[in-house]
Amino acid sequence: MSLELVLFDLDGTLADTLPDLCWAVNTVLATRSGSHARVDEQLLRPVISDGSRAIVAAALGHARRLDPRAWPTTISEDDIDSIRTGFLDLYQANIDRHTRLFQQTPELLERLDAAGLRWGVVTNKLSRFAMPLINRLGLGERCACVVGGDTAPHPKPHPAPLLHACRLADAAPARSIYIGDAPGDVIAAHRAGMPAVVAQWGYLPVEPEARSWGAEHLAETPLAVAELLLGHAPGSNADHGDGGDHATRQR
């Protein structure tokens, strides 16, 4: 198979957005409660792929355990929605304070560009966050397509965002591949008719284990993804391999 398009998730795959997300939610919770307790980044890491509601719920749960006296016994849904709105507004205004591409990701993208292999971004991050961040990371003019969580009629794990990306890039889904760090990424890829690679450096949930998600490949590093994909760049006749020392093919 000759690849036409490589699609990436954003948070936890291309970019390490956790520091800014954690800072924003901690700041909003501290403003609301007056507490100096801070939720550690690693406690939020497994829920980043689940969206803003999951981030707020997890952070609020941890914050209440850290300083129970700072919070009322019950918190209404309206209060939670208000916290979420404050979190998103603050995050949008500070979207790239500490966010950076993951180590080796620039080299991965440079190698894809050099090989003439087009790539794009498909994320559940709303476009009002995704587009500014992609531009500030210097990727906006390089990628073939960007699909946010509100671009298609349904977000992942529905296949619509991936299929829309293929249409934008004029690429066949069967000649495309998706790299992500969540079970829903694998589900979306397969529903769209393309193979999936698990980015094991990302924000993987505690369970289920990545090996059980059904992806065709697991990659430990971005450069392992490059080794895996470049055998399938335009003009290559390579068969599916194991992608080098740090990428494994699922049996």
Give counts: helices (H), strands (E), the chain.
9, 9
Selecting among 9, 11, 16, 20, the annotated active-site residue is: 9
9 included as an active-site residue: yes
How far, in Å, CA of 52 to CA of 25, rounded? 10
How far, in Å, CA of 226 to CA of 88, rounded? 33
Q: Which residues contact 67 (CB under 8 A, 6 or more apart)?
A: 33, 35, 36, 37
How far, in Å, CA of 171 to CA of 165, rounded? 8
Helix (H) or strand (E) holding 6: strand 5-8
Q: Which residues contact 172 (CB under 8 A, 6 or more apart)?
A: 4, 166
- The residues annotated with a catalytic role in the active site are 9
